[in-house]
C-alpha cells in the first residue's frame, strides 16, 4: 500500500506574526513547527505502515526551509520526502495551493492520501478537500479514526460532525483529512534521525507539476486577494480590582451588574 501524507510547515502562532508590504505573510521571519493536524495524519499513516507495511511519502509545498518538516517526518518513520518549491508558487491561496499539490501528486502512485484537517496559520480546512476535487477522488474530512481493508481496497473512517459522527466507507484511492485528536504522534527516534539525515529529499519545481496551468498558480493564480491584513484590535480593557475579601468582591460584581441592568 502506498500512502502520501501532505504536511505543512506553519508558524507557531504563539509567537508574533509579520506581514510583507503586499499583505501576504512574512513566513521567513517566524518560528515554525509541523502543523498539528498534519502530524496526526502522518502518525495515522505510520500506524498503517506498522500494521500492513505501507510505503509512506511525505509531501510539502513551501519555502526551501520547509525541508525541516520533511526531515522531521523522515525521522518519525516516513520513507520518502518531496519538497515542492518555486518562486512562481509563492503567495498562493487555497485554490492555487491545492492545484499545485494535485499537480505534484499526479506524478506519484498512491492508494491513500492523508492531509491534516486544517493548518493553524490559516485555519481554512480547504486544501485537503480541494486536492481531492482536483484529483477526482472521494474525500472524507474530519477523520477521528482510519481503518484500512487492504484486500478489498477500502477505508473505513470515523468522521466527526457537530453533534454526531458517521462511520463512512470509501473505495481507495481516496483522500482523508485528519483531526489532531486522531492520535498522539510519536517522537522522532534516534535511528530515525540518523536515517533522516542520510535520506534524500526530492525537490520539485514548477516544471515538475503535471497537468497544471500557469494561470492557476501562485499569487497571480489565486482567486482570493488580500484587501487588508492587520493585527487584531481588541476591545479596550475594562476595570480590574483586587478586593480585600470575597464579600467585597461580591458586592462589587452585584453593584456593576445592577448598574448595567444585567440582573
Partner 1 sequence: MALEDYKGVYVYAQQVDNEISPIAFELLGKAKDLAAPLATQVTAVLIGSGVKGLADRLAEYGADRVIVVDDPELKDYRTEPYAHALASVINEYKPEIMLVGATAIGRDLGPTVSARVATGLTADCTQLDIGDFPLVAIPGQEQKHNQLLMTRPAFGGNTIATIACPDNRPQMATVRPGVMQKIDPVAGAKAEVIEYNPGFTPDNRYVTIKEVVKAVSDTVDIMDAKVLVSGGRGVGSPENFKILEDLAEALGGTVSCSRAVVDAGWKPKDLQVGQTGKTVRPNLYFAIGISGAIQHVAGMEESDIIVAINKDEDAPIFDVADYGIVGDLNKIVPQLTAAIKAEKAKKAAG
What part of residues 75-94 is at the interface with partner 1 (CB under 8 A)? 93-94
Q: Which stretch binds partner 1 (CB under 8 A): 43-51, 70-78, 103-111, 240-248?
A: 240-248
- CB 58 to partner 1: min, Å: 22
Verify binding: residue 161, partner 1, rule CB under 8 A. Answer: yes
- CB 142 to partner 1: min, Å: 6
Verify binding: residue 31, partner 1, rule CB under 8 A. Answer: no
Three-state secondary-structure class, residue 10: strand
Comparison of 142 and 204: residue with beta carbon closer to partner 1: 142
Distance between the two ends of the chain, CA-based, in angstroms? 63
Query: Helix 127-135 to helix 94-105 angle, to the nearest 10 degrees?
Result: 50
**CA angle, 5 then 31 then 93, to 5°:** 55
Verify binding: residue 257, partner 1, rule CB under 8 A. Answer: yes
Kindly state the helix (H) or strand (E) to which residue 156 belongs, with its residue range: strand 154-160
Comparison of 151 and 262: residue with beta carbon closer to partner 1: 262
* Binds partner 1 (CB under 8 A): choice among 151, 164, 190, 198: 164
Q: Rounded to an integer, what distance in angstroms lies between the CA atom of residue 84 and that of residue 105? A: 10
For residue 158, give the nearest of 142, 172, 170 by alpha carbon.
Answer: 142
Verify binding: residue 156, partner 1, rule CB under 8 A. Answer: yes
- CB 34 to partner 1: min, Å: 16
Q: Residue 147 corresponds to which cell in the numbers above? A: 481503518
Q: How far is CA 205 from CA 17, 32, 38, 104, 113, in A?
A: 27, 22, 22, 9, 21
**Segment 96 to 155, residues that bind partner 1, using CB under 8 A:** 98, 120-130, 132-134, 136-142
Verify binding: residue 224, partner 1, rule CB under 8 A. Answer: yes
Amino acid at each position: 500500500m502506498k500512502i502520501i501524507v501532505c504536511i505543512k510547515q506553519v508558524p507557531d502562532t504563539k509567537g508574533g506574526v509579520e506581514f510583507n508590504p503586499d499583505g501576504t505573510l512574512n513566513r521567513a521571519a517566524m518560528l515554525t513547527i509541523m502543523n498539528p493536524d498534519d502530524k496526526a495524519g502522518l502518525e495515522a499513516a505510520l500506524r498503517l505502515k506498522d500494521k500492513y507495511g505501507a510505503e509512506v511519502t511525505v509531501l510539502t509545498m513551501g519555502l526551501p526551509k520547509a525541508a525541516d518538516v520533511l526531515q522531521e517526518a523522515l525521522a518519525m518513520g516516513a520513507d520518502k520526502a518531496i519538497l515542492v518549491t518555486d518562486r512562481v508558487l509563492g503567495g498562493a491561496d487555497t485554490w492555487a495551493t491545492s492545484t499545485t499539490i494535485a499537480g505534484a501528486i499526479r506524478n506519484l502512485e498512491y492508494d491513500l492520501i492523508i492531509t491534516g484537517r486544517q493548518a493553524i496559520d490559516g485555519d481554512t480546512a480547504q486544501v485537503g478537500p480541494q486536492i481531492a476535487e482536483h484529483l477526482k477522488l472521494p474525500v472524507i474530512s474530519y477523520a477521528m479514526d482510519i481503518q484500512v481493508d487492504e484486500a478489498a481496497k477500502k477505508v473505513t473512517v470515523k468522521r466527526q460532525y457537530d453533534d454526531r459522527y458517521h462511520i463512512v466507507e470509501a473505495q481507495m484511492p481516496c483522500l482523508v483529512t485528519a483531526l489532531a485528536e486522531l492520535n498522539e504522534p510519536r517522537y522522532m527516534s534516534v535511528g530515525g534521525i540518523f536515517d533522516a539525515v542520510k535520506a534524500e529529499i526530492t525537490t520539485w519545481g514548477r516544471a515538475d507539476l503535471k497537468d497544471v496551468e500557469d494561470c492557476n498558480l501562485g499569487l497571480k493564480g489565486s482567486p482570493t486577494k488580500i484587501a487588508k491584513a492587520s493585527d487584531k484590535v481588541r476591545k479596550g480593557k475594562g476595570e480590574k480590582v483586587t478586593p480585600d475579601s470575597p464579600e467585597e468582591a461580591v458586592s462589587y460584581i452585584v453593584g456593576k451588574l445592577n448598574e448595567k441592568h444585567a440582573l
